[in-house]
Amino acid sequence: MTDRPITRRRALLAGGAAVAVASSPGSARAAVDKALVKKIERRAVGAATLDELRKMVALEAIANGRLLRPSETSVVRILEEHATQHAAALGQLMKDQLGTEPPATPRRTEISGLLGLRDRTAALRFASRLEGRAIATNISGIRTAYDSQIRQALAGIVGSDAQHLVLLRQLLHEQPVPSAFERGAA
């Protein structure tokens, strides 16, 4: 060990060498970590996409089911269009960023509880539960994703879905904003 003082140049050279070694393509740990991160992100975005697809199908069925008033049907059709846009954006993200195909769109019969809706209140509550579940799924995805584009997309969808939840609560004559923080429903 030398008694020479560490200069900025030496510190920068040493730091650069350490970064180069840690991020070398030959590092098995880095490869495993990258693969694990991609797997986690695929799972998170896949779950969020499936929730949006589920909402899209259910909201279309609710809008076409003649259970709602005309003004409520108009609102539900807007929410359906938003779910369609969210699902498309997440599906594209899965293809472009994560190199995988998005999940298949579920059939109406595959959405538990949808076919049993008999009145407007039940239909609106069902839509509200779908929105709450989607919010919770997206928040979970934000917590687990490392990629900033994925986090940004999920956060934007959470904001939109929270607005949808407020609209549905208003249609149900419930308190539209019951708390300062919306966490969704698992």
Q: What is the pTM (predicted TM-score) of this model?
A: 0.81
Burial class (CB in 10 A: 0-12, 13-18, 19+), 106: middle
> Tens of pLDDT along 136-151?
999 999 999 999 999 9
Residue 68 lies in a domain: yes
Q: Within its chain, how far is the Cα of 15 from the centroid?
A: 37
5 DSSP assignment:
P
Number of folded domains that form the chain: 1
CA distance 31 to 13: 25
96's tokens? 């472009």
| pLDDT for residue 162 is more than 70 | yes
Enclosing domain of residue 143: 37-171
Please report which residue ranges of 25-69 form alpha helices under DSSP H. Answer: 28-64
Residue 1 lies in a domain: no
Quote the pLDDT of residue 179: 81
| pLDDT for residue 1 is more than 60 | no
Residue 185 lies in a domain: no
38's tokens? 């991609």
- Comparing 149 with 3, the larger pLDDT belongs to 149
Residue 113 lies in a domain: yes
176's tokens? 């539209």
> Tens of pLDDT along 91-147?
999 999 999 999 999 999 999 999 999 999 999 999 999 999 999 999 999 999 999
CA distance 102 to 92: 8
Identity of the amino acid at 23: S
CATH number of the structural domain spanning residue 52: 1.20.1260.10
Quote the pLDDT of residue 4: 59
SS3 content of the chain, % helix, strand, coil (to 5): 70, 0, 30
> Tens of pLDDT along 32-82?
688 899 999 999 999 999 999 999 999 999 999 999 999 999 999 999 999
| pLDDT for residue 3 is more than 80 | no
- Comparing 114 with 16, the larger pLDDT belongs to 114
Residue 32 lies in a domain: no
- Comparing 7 with 100, the larger pLDDT belongs to 100
Identity of the amino acid at 107: R
Confidence of residue 5 (pLDDT cuts 50, 70, 90): low
Quote the pLDDT of residue 21: 45
Residue 176 lies in a domain: no
Dihedral sign for Cα atoms in the order 161, 166, 167, 168: positive
Quote the pLDDT of residue 181: 78
Residue 126 lies in a domain: yes
Q: Map tokens 């579920």 to a residue.
A: 106
Residue 2 lies in a domain: no
